Amino acid sequence: MRQTMKAAAAISAAALALTACGGSSSDTASGSKSSGGASGAAKVKVGMAYDVGGRGDQSFNDAAAAGLDKAKSELGVETKEASAVNGENEAAREERLQQLVDAGYTHVVAVGFAYAPSVGKVAKANPDAHFAIVDDASDDSKGDNVAQLTFAEQEGSYLVGAAAALKSKTGNVGFVGGVNTPLINKFEAGFVAGAKAANPKIKVQSKYLTQPPDFSGFADPAKGKTAAEGMFQAGADVVYHAAGGSGGGVFDAAKAANKMAIGVDSDQAKTAKEGVRDVIITSMIKKVDVSVYDFIKSGTEGKDLTGNKIYDLKAGGVDYSTTGGKIDDIKSKLDTYKQDIISGKIKVPATVG
Amino acid sequence: MSAAGLDVGAERLDAPPRTGRRLQWWHWLVIALAGLFVLSVLEAVTGANDIVSSGAIAAAFGLAVPIALAGLGGLWSERAGVVNIGLEGMMILGTWGAAFAAVHWGAWAGIIGGIVGGLIGGLIHAIATVTFGVDHIVSGVALNIIGLGVAKYLSARFFANLPGGGPTQSPSLPDLPRLTIGGLSDGLKSVEDDNIFFVSQIAAVLRALCTDLSVLTLLAVVLFVATWWVLWRTAFGLRLRSCGESPVAAESLGVNVIRYKFLAVLMSGALAGLGGAFLSLVAAGIYRDGQTGGRGYIGLAAMIFGNWRPGGLLAGSTLFGYTDAIQLRAGTQTVHAFLLFVAVVLVAVGLWQVIRNHRLVQGIGAIIMGALVAVWYFTTDAVAGELTSTMPYVTTLLVLVFASQRLRMPAADGQVYRKGEGH
């Protein structure tokens, strides 16, 4: 009995440790100051709260950082950055935003839907500050001083889905999602719809690496590789990923199997590691940098953005990349789809099935 | 003359040998083959052909190795009486150490780097628990948090400015050599592709074992054999295990308990670090924050599943690795086919419990569970994606609940021991 109790104690302690890890909040804040150059910009100070991964993730956060950098050099705003910690709790996120406000930052950009409830709360508590949240348009983050910057990921994914189907010789393509959330579902929905449009008989394999609240699926290349290997061995020859850092594993698997892959968020044929760039035929680009820059610019002009601003294909918020010339032969077809989506002839679903 | 006393003595001497038969190595082989046979039948019946493919088996080994190495680390430590739930933290340090060394000095140095990273974690745990007598759980939990924080800090400090690196990830790492026995692998592939019942499945397993095998996987196998030999066949191992069973007795016989415990915890850290090195060097080819994803805890669970013995630990980690691999690969379809397997196993275990062991409650419980799973299988076409990722844990839980458990942890495991305590 004693042994059982001890084993139980060990297990529960392990569980405790997991949650304890989640509770720890160690912000890596790196302040950077620049002398307010442009006139009128001196009043705008931008605080940026990144999602897990932070600046340097060569993906989502880096895209946001690029927008911030552009604003800094072109508009001369003062900036401060802070990163999230994997598995942190709600209070830690609220605290981070509040600290930015307290430090005098007038415009706070929260990167990632995980911030939704905290942005809602902190925005209410600080009616004089301006907030932006990337990737969320829910009621949680709604507010008079909140700009909700979202993207029509399904439209960009539709285009790369069509590209995958047109490029596939086996009539079998795959989708690897990082975590099964409504946001990543949009990628899958668009991809499936696009693939079916280009080839009605196409077979699409889908897999999510983890289920929320386990968000490790965005940072586990080993799992991404295993999932993609399975798809390639089951007959797929093009796999699209929306799995953040796990996507590196998808590219590795494609390289090893001598098959094709499609990148996400940024032009990954330029940003992925050198050895695998040649397997990336295209990427679904999501211009987070543009949205962040727009928000800051509107602030410097005194016309602060509020409400939900959707960056879709029409607005140039999403697109596909052509780096490497791997899809030059089907570009005209893809552009036809693109025009049809922009004109409203094709309606891309945002949910699966 | 007291007859009663003699009787008692005689009874003790004639006490029947332990009813739990010790499993010999060929038992394991038979069990493995039987399991493979059932899986082959399952493939034939359900038509889900990814259940035993060389790809699935290779993926299973790939996922099992880091778990097994962490578990082996736990085994060393707990056999010497120190509970080590800090494995996750040591593993995290290992992933970073391996990445740092590999970036600067090449892939082979990465192995050393991973071991050193884990070793540092082991050193902290050893100093805290063995030297200063801190509660093992407290120290282990602290280590998990420290490992996470330190690795985050170090990667931001050392990887952010490297080309291809960032604050949360390393540049891509050089790969270790992989071994393929060319002729054998190709020959087995043709057998696998022929789709002969059971023969193809055996070929698939053998092919996975001789194709694209990382040297680190081979090293892990060697370490398992070496651990078994050192701990169960040498005087050193006997002394080390005696520290976990009864440190007072060990010390009275002249064993330097403190030194043995210290060494065991260091070894534990080194092995967990090596598991981390496998993850960043071989499985992912990159270091990323949070890439261990709780594998250290799973390793600990696999060790308990394996009754604190290397063979059982290996079986436990393979089970975790395999179920995780098939749910990650084909997902809903294969997992759905697997339900049938779970149902059959549960009913078989239930019957065994009722007929052989006369444990009605456990047996009938297992049969009812099996029947429910079977109903689930026949009334649905696929398992919801939300549920598939829980499969490794549900399977293990069911096995543990309904199989007769004779888990026995080292008697003095988790107890703080101070030198000269027994005097």
A255-268 residue pLDDT tens: 999 999 999 988 88
Between A62 and A187, the higher pLDDT residue: A187
Confirm or reject contact between A103 and chain B (CB < 8 A): no
Q: What was the pLDDT predicted at B21?
A: 52
Query: Which residues are bridge partners to A265 per DSSP?
Result: A285
d(CA B77, CA B413): 9
- Is the same domain home to B136 and B234? yes
Lookup: tokens for B407: 């888990």
Q: What is the mean pLDDT of the segment spanning A327-343?
A: 92
In CATH terms, is domain A27-151+289-311 a member of 3.40.50.2300? yes
- Is the same domain home to B223 and B88? yes
Q: What was the pLDDT predicted at B56?
A: 85
Residues of chain A contacting residue B53, judged by C-beta atoms under 8 Å apart: 233
Give DSSP secondary structure letters for B271-309.
HHHHHHHIIIIIIISS-BTTTTTTHHHHHHHHHHHTTTS
Pick from B253, B179, B41, B279: nearest CA to A249: B279
Confirm or reject contact between B133 and chain A (CB < 8 A): no
- Is the same domain home to B401 and B256? no
Q: What is the largest CA-CA distance in chain A?
A: 74
Is the dihedral angle over the CA atoms B278, B281, B287, B291 positive or is it negative?
Answer: negative
Q: What was the pLDDT predicted at B343?
A: 85
Say what percent of chain B tops pLDDT 70.
91
Report pLDDT digits (tens) over A132-189: 999 888 888 888 899 999 999 999 999 999 999 999 999 999 999 999 888 899 999 9
- Is the same domain home to B258 and B368? no
8 Å CB contact between A318 and A156: yes
Q: What was the pLDDT predicted at B231?
A: 94
Residues of chain A contacting residue B337, judged by C-beta atoms under 8 Å apart: none
d(CA A219, CA A248): 9
Residues of chain B contacting residue A13, judged by C-beta atoms under 8 Å apart: 85, 137, 140-141
Cα B260 → chain centroid: 23
CATH number of A153-285+322-343: 3.40.50.2300
Give DSSP secondary structure letters for A93-159.
HHHHHHHHHHTT-SEEEEESGGGHHHHHHHHHH-TTSEEEEET--SGGG--TTEEEEEE-HHHHHHH
Q: What was the pLDDT predicted at B51?
A: 78
Task: Kindly determine whether residue B172 and residue A275, on different chains, have CB atoms separated by under 8 Å.
Answer: yes
Q: Is residue B96 part of a domain?
A: yes
Q: What was the pLDDT predicted at B11?
A: 43
At residue B210, the 3 state secondary structure works out as: helix
8 Å CB contact between B244 and B410: yes
Q: Is residue B280 part of a domain?
A: yes
User: Which CATH number covers residue B178?
Assistant: 1.10.3470
Alpha helices by DSSP H, B47-172 = 54-79, 87-105, 107-126, 136-158
Residues of chain B contacting residue A248, judged by C-beta atoms under 8 Å apart: 172, 284-286
Task: Kindly determine whether residue B53 and residue A233, on different chains, have CB atoms separated by under 8 Å.
Answer: yes
Give the residue on A whose Cα is nearest the Cα of B172.
A273
Pick from B18, B35, B20: nearest CA to B404: B20
H-helix or E-strand containing A291?
helix A288-300
**Residue entry with tokens 């009938």:** B364
The segment(s) of chain A belonging to CATH 3.40.50.2300 are 27-151+289-311, 153-285+322-343
Confirm or reject contact between B176 and chain A (CB < 8 A): no
d(CA A180, CA A178): 7
- Is the same domain home to B134 and B257? yes
Q: What was the pLDDT predicted at B319?
A: 86
Lookup: tokens for B128: 């805290």
Q: Which of A3, A85, A230 sits opposite B409 (nearest CB)?
A: A3
- Is the same domain home to B308 and B371? no
d(CA A326, CA B274): 40
Confirm or reject contact between B47 and chain A (CB < 8 A): no
Q: What was the pLDDT predicted at A30?
A: 41
- Is the same domain home to B70 and B217? yes
- Is the same domain home to B337 and B380? yes
Query: Which residues are bridge partners to A261 per DSSP?
Result: A239, A280
Query: Which residues are bridge partners to A282 per DSSP?
Result: A262
Confirm or reject contact between B409 and chain A (CB < 8 A): yes
Last residue of a domain, one of B305, B330, B355: B330
Phi, psi for residue B388 in degrees, rounded to 5? -60, -35
Q: What was the pLDDT predicted at B236?
A: 95
pLDDT for residue B126 is more than 60:
yes
Mutation target for A interface from B211, B216, B288: give the one with most A CBs within 10 A. B288
8 Å CB contact between B70 and B272: yes
- Is the same domain home to B318 and B336? no
A199-219 burial, b if ≥16 CB within 10 A, otherwise e? Answer: beebebbbbbbbbeeebbbbb
Quote the domain boundaries for residue B350.
331-408
Give the residue on B whose Cα is nearest the Cα of A270.
B164
Q: Is residue B20 part of a domain?
A: no
Confirm or reject contact between B275 and chain A (CB < 8 A): no
Last residue of a domain, one of B280, B303, B330: B330
Residues of chain A contacting residue B325, judged by C-beta atoms under 8 Å apart: 226
Task: Kindly determine whether residue A20 and residue B141, on different chains, have CB atoms separated by under 8 Å.
Answer: yes
Mutation target for A interface from B279, B329, B332, B400: give the one with most A CBs within 10 A. B329
Last residue of a domain, one of B283, B310, B330: B330
Confirm or reject contact between A8 and chain B (CB < 8 A): no
- Is the same domain home to B85 and B59? yes
B107-119 burial, b if ≥16 CB within 10 A, otherwise e? Answer: bebbbbbbbbbbb
First-to-last alpha carbon distance for chain B, in angstroms, is 36
d(CA A259, CA A271): 19
Residues of chain B contacting residue A111, judged by C-beta atoms under 8 Å apart: none
Residue A314: DSSP 8-state: T
- Is the same domain home to B230 and B106? yes
Report pLDDT digits (tens) over B293-307: 889 999 998 998 888
Q: What was the pLDDT predicted at A63?
A: 85
Question: Count of CB contacts below 8 A, A vs B?
Answer: 170
- Is the same domain home to B189 and B227? yes
Mean of all residue pLDDT scores within chain A: 84
d(CA B381, CA A199): 25
Q: What is the mean pLDDT of the segment spanning B126-147?
A: 94
Q: What was the pLDDT predicted at B376?
A: 85
pTM equals 0.81
First-to-last alpha carbon distance for chain A, in angstroms, is 51
Report pLDDT digits (tens) over A201-225: 999 999 999 888 788 888 888 899 9
Task: Kindly determine whether residue A273 and residue B53, on different chains, have CB atoms separated by under 8 Å.
Answer: no
Pick from B231, B192, B188, B181: nearest CA to B80: B231
Report pLDDT digits (tens) over A90-131: 888 999 999 999 999 999 999 988 899 999 999 999 998 999
**Residue entry with tokens 């419980």:** B365
Q: Which of A57, A209, A234 sits opposite B166 (nearest CB)?
A: A57
Confirm or reject contact between B174 and chain A (CB < 8 A): no
Mutation target for B interface from A86, A207, A209: give the one with most B CBs within 10 A. A207
Residues of chain A contacting residue B167, judged by C-beta atoms under 8 Å apart: 28, 54-56, 83
Lookup: tokens for B81: 């009486």
Confidence band, pLDDT 50/70/90 cuts, at residue B22: low
Total domain count, chain B: 2
Gap from B335 CA to chain A (nearest CA, Å): 12
Q: Is residue B22 part of a domain?
A: no
Task: Kindly determine whether residue B167 and residue A206, on different chains, have CB atoms separated by under 8 Å.
Answer: no
Residue A59: DSSP 8-state: S
8 Å CB contact between B205 and B54: yes
d(CA B59, CA B208): 9
pLDDT for residue A19 is more than 60:
no
Lookup: tokens for B174: 């050089």
Burial class (CB in 10 A: 0-12, 13-18, 19+), B350: buried
Cβ under 8 Å to A: B residues 326-365: 328-331
Give DSSP secondary structure letters for A161-191.
HHHHHHH-SSSEEEEEEEE--HHHHHHHHHH
Q: Is residue B8 part of a domain?
A: no
Close Cβ partners of A153 (under 8 Å, ≥ 6 residues apart): A183, A186, A187, A190, A242, A284, A286, A318
